Every structure is written in structure tokens, then in C-alpha cells.
Amino acid sequence: AEYVDISEAVTSPRAGNFRKVSVLPLVFLIFYEVSGGPFGVEDSVGAAGPLLALVGFLVFPLIWSVPEALITAEMGTMFPENGGYVVWVSAALGDYWGFQQGWMKWLSGVIDNALYPVLFLDYLKSVVPVVGHGF
């Protein structure tokens, strides 16, 4: 990938075809990223207490999610091509490490997605106990 100077006028072929995220979905996206969703809140409150947990949920997005979003937006405009972080790592460290990053992210996604059916059934067992005993 080639570095694009910010002063150069680069237009994407689909520059006019985009949707904006409104405020409410953005708030929920940041909440789930920071807190781990509804299942992370209880552990946070139990560990730190309600006041510190609320302060953490209000402060942590400002020191984590907002800078991460700004960095991603900057990198996305600097490299106007599909590929995301694989392109960024390849440009910075070479094709070998770009491939390694893409491969590890793919493997992480496969392992992460394999956990969701197990978690779903575990939550279902607590609501419908017959699921835990078999049929």
C-alpha cells in the first residue's frame, strides 16, 4: 500500500454512498465496547461498587473509544482502500506481518464465534432448566 499525503485530493469511488450512525446507536456501541454489554456491568459493580462503576463507564469511553475511533478514521482516510488494519500493518511492517495480523484476527474471530452457541445454551439453561438435563 502506498502512503497518501493528506494534502492530496483522493476520492473514493463510493464517496457519496454512505450512511451516518445516529447518536443513540453510537452510544450503545460505545457502551457495549466499554462494558462488555449487560453481562459485564454486574461484575464491574460487584468489583468496584456502583459509583466507581458508573464513573468508569462514563470516563472510559473518553479515554479509549473516542481516541480509537479517531485513529481508525485517520487511518481509513490515509489508506483509501479495502482491507482495514491488514493494509495498515502491511504498509508499516511489510506484507509478512500484514498477513500474520490478518490471519490472527481471522483465527480470533473463528474462536470467538465458536463461544457464542455455548454461551447461549448456558444462558438458556438458567431460564429453561430442562435444557440442562437433556431431552
| Percentage of the chain exceeding pLDDT 70 | 81
Report the pLDDT averaged over residues 111-119.
84
Any residues with CB less than 8 A from the CB of 31 and at least 6 apart, and which? 37, 57, 61
Q: Rounded to two decimals, what is the model's pTM?
A: 0.56
By CB atoms closer than 10 A (0-12, 13-18, 19+), residue 91 is: middle
Report the pLDDT averaged over residues 29-34.
74
Q: Residue ranges per domain, the chain?
A: 1-81, 82-135
Inform me whether the pLDDT recorded for 78 exceeds 80: yes
Highest mean pLDDT among 37-46, 51-60, 90-99: 90-99
For 35-46, the pLDDT digits (tens) are 666 667 778 888
